[in-house]
Amino acid sequence: MRVTVIGAGYVGLVTAACFADVGNQVTCIERDAERLSALRDRAEVPFYEPGLSDLVRRNIEQGRLTLSPSIAEGLPGSQVCFIAVGTPSLPNGQADLSQVEGAATEIGRAMTGPLVVVQKSTAPVGTIPKVRALVEAGLAARGVSHRLGVVSNPEFLKEGSAIEDFTRGDRIVLGSDDPQAIATMRELYRPFNRNHEKIMVMDAASAELTKYAANAMLATRISFMNELARIAEAVGADIEQIRKGIGVDHRIGSHFLYAGAGYGGSCFPKDVKALAHTARELGLHAELVEAVESVNQRQKLRVFEKISDHYQGKLAGKT
């Protein structure tokens, strides 16, 4: 199958390399000239992910993975196009969809035949109709008509195990009410869905919210353990023993039960904020979601306070 992936960042490059490695002809779009050259000429990945450089290099050398500087050049002839661009937080917590919207507009200007557009970037509920409208507007401006399917397919990759997560993940979520588009996606994902059925088909809004719900749930566990650690410290209990005591309960499990400096990274902070913002836009007060973020911010200060207390406030020159 011919596939285009817009965005050669963490999600986009993993997606492109994994699909190429099972025999698809994949073009990955990277606008930054320096990064494009490093990838195309030296298979130099701009971030660390175990095994990814070798995977990219092998598929470039074997002709299954190519790099392109533009959607206009890299999209024509493709059957599936993934949007895997950044959706950073705006100051109010809302997800910035400018890159997603820009990609959708360019897809409409460049597609040359039937196409399934797949929203891979984490984006709030309601993004899929926006993507469809922008692609259709691009087609209308050209006076052409091609069959268009739009699918939400959120990623669930962990840094350090992204290739394993992509190829042997727990689930493959597909959000669309278009049976033909779903059939195309099933065929594309078939090499990763052999041992047992992992594909979960739902409506687009549910797929979009599933991604936010997963990250918010994990962030909640982290904030809960940090709250519990404060209580444990106050009463003279050992949070590590408590963690073990509750982690063996199969209803709870042991993942994401470590107290510490709070969550960070590229996903949890922005996704928790975006979920809270979505609730506010709907006139809802997501008290638990907002508390998760509040606890996380306070925990960062708590770490500083503990260091300051240890040195009796004399932090000059302490690095």
Q: Which two tokens stand for residue 28?
A: 């990955």
Q: Which two tokens stand for residue 122?
A: 């984490």
Q: Which two tokens stand for residue 26?
A: 């994949």
Backbone angles phi, psi at 89, to 5 degrees: -80, 140
Question: Smallest Cα–Cα separation from 20: which of 62, 64, 71?
Answer: 64
Chain centroid to CA 151: how far?
15
Annotation says 18 is catalytic: no
Q: Give the whole-angstrom CA distance, residue 145 versus residue 41.
A: 37
DSSP E strands in the chain: the ranges are 2-6, 25-29, 65-68, 80-83, 115-119, 148-152, 172-175, 199-202
Dihedral (CA of 256, 260, 264, 269) sign = positive
DSSP string, 159-210: TT-HHHHHHS-S-EEEE-S-HHHHHHHHHHHGGGSSSS--EEEE-HHHHHHH
Which of 18, 28, 81, 267 is catalytic? The answer is 267
Burial class (CB in 10 A: 0-12, 13-18, 19+), 159: middle
Which residues are part of the catalytic machinery?
267
